[in-house]
Amino acid sequence: MANTPGIPKGTRDFSPEILAKRNYIFDIIKDVFKKFAYRQLETPAMENLSTLTGKYGEEGDKLLFKILNSGNFLKKVTDPELQERDTKKMAHLVAEKGLRYDLTVPFARYVVQHQNEITFPFKRFQIQPVWRADRPQKGRYREFYQCDADIIGSYSLINELEIVQMIDEVFTKLNLEVTIKINNRKLLAGIAERIGYPEKLIDLTVAIDKLDKIGLEKVYEELRLAGISDDAINFLEPILNLGGSFNDQMQCIERFIGETETGVTGIVETEKLFSYLDMFKFNNNIELDLTLARGLTYYTGAIFEVISDEIQIGSICGGGRYDDLTGIFGLKGVSGVGISFGADRIFDVMENLNRFPEDTTSSVKLMFVNFGQKEEKYCLPVLQKLRQNGINSEIFPDSSKMKKQMKYANSNKIPYVALAGENEMQENKFTLKNMETGEQQLVTAAEMIKALT
RNA sequence: GUGGUUGUAGUUCAGUUGGUUAGAACGCCUGAUUGUGGUUCAGGAGGUCGUGGGUUCAAAUCCCAUCUUCCACCCCA
């Protein structure tokens, strides 16, 4: 045990079985992204540390993995600095690169860097791992995948509509029932303004976001802690307890924030988005949820979150509109809207509910049993032909005992085995065995190809 | 960053108040079965008890440190 090697905290190996399942999810997401005309982008695992720092708040900076400079990484550090042991100050001296923390900031960097080559609006999707030096726990890893799609350079609410359509299609294809929650940051901003604390929008959203997790009382407590007066909190109550139909909710909101400028914009946007949504039929529930806030500070318009109806695991997909993502890199006035699927959590849900199709893990269709040199030579050309016909297949490389070979096929879930010995070779045929039913039949190579296609 | 928790075979776990050679199940390998996997039966391999130090005649067991696992908080996907 002490001698067996391991992997770093919060990381995982993906066995062929798990990877097959994960790819099943990725392929569905990827196909939907492509169908909606998003094009794939990849960025390097590492970015310049200066690109990453300061984008995720102070907490986020702490969670960045930094890469030690090559060579003498202490070259730039002076003796007094070394004595001081101020790691925060020293970090940029010994590390100039860091692992990406999400896909959005590298995307923003890409857009700004290549702004002259890009034709706007620009639609891209990106499926890559990200790294966070977080303390791992349930559903939380130091290396995990994000599946992002963003459109940047368009204010149209058609983009929001399409985001919802994509979400609906992905989860329909995955055979999962979900609820798509929609809100708008401008509504929240209107509320903050109305209760007299426009500058507390972030505190307000962070607190409201926890409503279904910690309950009303604790939310009030957080709001008080943030310095919001009891009067204002009481004033807020009807909004937090909002229910009923979309129209009821909108009426109530209108009464509440109808006089604030941002609030009105929020109402117009939300009503327009829902009027688009009304044009189509969706397989999943779509609801307006005023308590949906989402932590990310850069959202400015519509926000989305998806939760499973069948299992409690938190949000499995989220996104929203941001008006100034590239501003931090000096490119102003580019609005975008994006969505991110949490592949790892979707995996957990699928696994829990047993929703992966049976044949996900077995990509190999057939194995030739190896009886010896003469038989190998008889099988190899046929194997080649199967492969040319797009049938994933293999021959057991050694003429080991039959039992060992069958066991190999069995444990790798290979559905068919082909046997060719003296008898078969004389007739120029193969015995094709169905591993599941145990049935066997004598067939020609052509018949075998036909049976497996 | 804070609090708790875990560590013994490939895996999941037993292991008494400290006391002979540390066990089980599953998995793996071999055989029963020289052209047939899953079932059955028999046999076999596999452990520096996370690591380092301490207490003791004696430590998987007690103490300290450290690493690790998992969980909650903060934050987040």
Return d(Cα A286, Cα A180) in angstroms, integer: 5
Supply the CATH number for residue A445's domain.
3.40.50.800
- In a domain, residue A3? The reply is no
- Domain span at residue A37? 16-353
User: What pLDDT, in 10s, does the model give residues A392-431?
Assistant: 999 999 888 999 999 999 988 899 999 999 999 999 999 9
Q: How far is CA A228 from CA A154, A198, A224, in A?
A: 36, 11, 5
- A313 and A416 within one domain: no
- A433 and A319 within one domain: no
pLDDT for the residue A351: 83
Return d(Cα A27, Cα A33) in angstroms, integer: 10
Q: How far is CA A399 from CA A356, A369, A415, in A?
A: 35, 8, 20
pLDDT for the residue A13: 85
CB of A215 within 7 Å of some strand B atom: no
- In a domain, residue A178? The reply is yes
Residues 395-414 of A with CB under 7 A from strand B: 401-404, 406-407, 409-411
- In a domain, residue A52? The reply is yes
Residues 430-449 of A with CB under 7 A from strand B: 431, 433, 435-436, 438, 440
Residues 30-59 of A with CB under 7 A from strand B: 57, 59
CB of A144 within 7 Å of some strand B atom: yes
- A281 and A421 within one domain: no
Which residues are CB-contacts of A69 (< 8 A; sequence separation ≥ 6)? A75, A94, A95, A96, A97
- A417 and A319 within one domain: no
**Please, are residues A299 and A185 in contact by the beta-carbon 8 Å criterion?**
yes
Place of tokens 């018949």: A447
pLDDT for the residue A3: 57
Judged on CB neighbours under 10 Å (0-12, 13-18, 19+), A9 is exposed
Q: Give me the CA A5–C1' B44 separation in Å, rounded.
A: 26
pLDDT for the residue A123: 96
Return d(Cα A337, Cα A123) in angstroms, integer: 10
CB of A140 within 7 Å of some strand B atom: yes
- As given in the structure block, the two tokens for residue A231 are 């009067």
Tally the domains of chain A. 2
- In a domain, residue A115? The reply is yes
- A184 and A204 within one domain: yes
User: What pLDDT, in 10s, does the model give residues A96-136?
Assistant: 899 999 999 999 999 999 999 999 999 999 999 999 998 88
Rounded to two decimals, the ipTM of the complex is: 0.83
**Please, are residues A275 and A288 in contact by the beta-carbon 8 Å criterion?**
no
- A158 and A55 within one domain: yes
Place of tokens 């849900």: A349
pLDDT for the residue A55: 84
pLDDT for the residue A314: 75
Give the residue ranges of chain A where pLDDT is below 50.
Answer: 1-2
- In a domain, residue A6? The reply is no
- A345 and A310 within one domain: yes
Residues 340-379 of A with CB under 7 A from strand B: 340, 342, 344-345, 371
- As given in the structure block, the two tokens for residue A448 are 């075998």
C-alpha torsion sign, points A70, A71, A77, A83: positive
Strands (DSSP E) found in A323-370: 336-342, 366-368
* Bond prior to A80 in cis (omega within 30° of 0): no
Can you give the C-alpha Rg of chain A in angstroms? 28
Return d(Cα A182, Cα A205) in angstroms, integer: 14
Element (H, E) at A220: helix A211-225
DSSP, res A71: S
Residue A44, beta-bridge partner list: none
pLDDT for the residue A114: 95
Q: How far is CA A331 from CA A102, A203, A425, in A?
A: 20, 27, 71
**In the complex, which nucleotide's C1' lies nearest to the CA atom of residue A140?**
B77
- A403 and A342 within one domain: no
Q: Give me the CA A309–C1' B4 separation in Å, rounded.
A: 31
Phi-psi region of A36 (alpha: psi -120 to 50; beta: other; left: phi over 0): alpha
- In a domain, residue A8? The reply is no
Q: Give me the CA A403–C1' B33 separation in Å, rounded.
A: 9
Return d(Cα A90, Cα A428) in angstroms, integer: 74
